[in-house]
Structure formats: C-alpha cells, structure tokens
Structure 1
Amino acid sequence: MLLAQRQGTGYADGWWNLPSGHLEEGETIDQAVIREAREEIGITLQADALRFVHLCHFRNPEGQARMGTFFEARTWQGEPYNAEPHKCSRIAWFPFNQLPDQTYPYTAAGVAEYVRGSAYAAVGWPVGHR
C-alpha cells in the first residue's frame, strides 16, 4: 500500500498515513477520495475503480475521535508522486503486514482490520462500546 509521511503541517508530522483528508462542502466520500488522490499523489481515480473496504471509528488516548473511511483503488491513471511536498516529506509502498513503526495509529488500526476482512471497527473505545 502507498503511504505518505507527513511534514510541516503541525498535525502528526513525521507519521506515515494513507493519502487522505477531510470532506469539503457538498462532497461525497468517494468524491473526496478522488480529489485527495489527485491533490496528494497526482493520480486520477474513477469512482467505479474504488471499493469501500473499512470504516474505523478510532478514539485516541486523549479521547479525540476520528472516522476513517478506507477505500481500495483497483486501477488509476498516472504514476504516484509526492504532489504536496509542503505537507509530505515522501511517499513509499509498503506490504500490508510491514507498516513502518511511525504509522499513524488509526491508519494502522484500519489497515489491520481491512487485512482481517472486517468492514467496521471501533478502536480505542471502552469494552462493550459499539
């Protein structure tokens, strides 16, 4: 899988993460995936080449929650490159079972659940919280 190492943003700098971002006003999740892929790694995706694979509701030790929606891109146009060097120090391919030590925790959790075949996980919530 392709990961990007963040830099210069003030949030999770030095950590590896999947190319990702936030929804913009009026945007669907798949539209955001297509836009973020173009902005961050310079590739063109088509909606019909995307497959939803996992939703991770992650809560960090400080109690902050995130929703990570994971998609698999089966095909794309272009060769991935670091299209946002002001936000990312580099991009690199990694095997699913050999993520770098500095992989952002909710990314690592979502990838682990995807590998297990799980479509949903609540990670970091008290036991029984679902």
Structure 2
Amino acid sequence: MPSGKLDRGEPLRVGAARELLEETGVTVDPAHLWLVHVVHHKQSADVERIGFFFEATHWSGEPVNREPEKCLSLQWFSVHELPEDIIEYPEKGLLAYLEGDGALTEHGWK
C-alpha cells in the first residue's frame, strides 16, 4: 500500500495525495480522499507511529512502481491472499477497515 510521511506544514489529505502520486503515478484530488481507519502502532520501545488509511473515491492514472529503490514491486492481491511479507500494521489497518472493525486499531501495545 502506498504510504509515507507528511512534509512540515502539509495537511493530511494533501500529503496522502502527494505520496500516492510520488509512489504510484496515480493522481487524486485530496477532496476525494476519505479517512476510513487509523492505526496507532507501537513498533518498539522507542518508535511509535500513527497511520491514517484513506479510500480514494475518484482518481486518474494507472498505478506503476515509481520508487523501485524502495519497493520491490507493485501488485494487486485479494485481501484473502495477502503476501506473507506484508508489513503487519498496514495489514491490520486494511483488514480492520474492510471488516468494519471500528475506526481505530491499536497495534503492538501490551
């Protein structure tokens, strides 16, 4: 799944649209991004992050891997057959959204 970090002073939906374009070549107007889930992830004792998951309702372009130095490939998968090497916290966010499991997942916390 395309992801990234916000630039300083950048609104959330604008950053999501920018990252989508940078990583896949797909263009979406930030107004067509709907926040569908949030994951608060504890990666380690020193690293925590919050992931915001968006659904795009309108876009243009066909996705391509525009960051081959960071991403091995860009492929479509059934949610029932996700790759074994998927990063765990994005997987949890995707599945929680698809299963209607509320708006927030807390992952990695004890």
Q: How does 1:23-62 map to 2 (within 5 A)?
A: 23-60=6-43, 62=44
**Is 2:94 aligned against 1:122?**
no
Superposed CA RMSD: 1.2
Distance between the aligned counterparts of 2:9 and 2:78, measured in 1? Answer: 34
Taking every aligned residue pair, what percent have the same amino acid on both sides?
A: 39
- Kindly report structure 1 stretches of 4+ aligned residues shifted beyond 2 Å: none
Q: Which residue of the other structure, out of 62, 70, 76, is the alignment partner of 1:79? A: 62
Name the count of aligned residue pairs.
108
What are structure 1's unaligned runs of at least 5 residues?
A: 1-17
**Aligned letter for 1:114?**
Y
What are structure 2's unaligned runs of at least 5 residues?
A: none
TM-score between both structures, scaled by the size of structure 2: 0.90
Deviation at 1:111, TM superposition (A): 1.1
The answer (yes or no) to whether the contact 2:13–2:31 under 8 Å persists in 1 is no
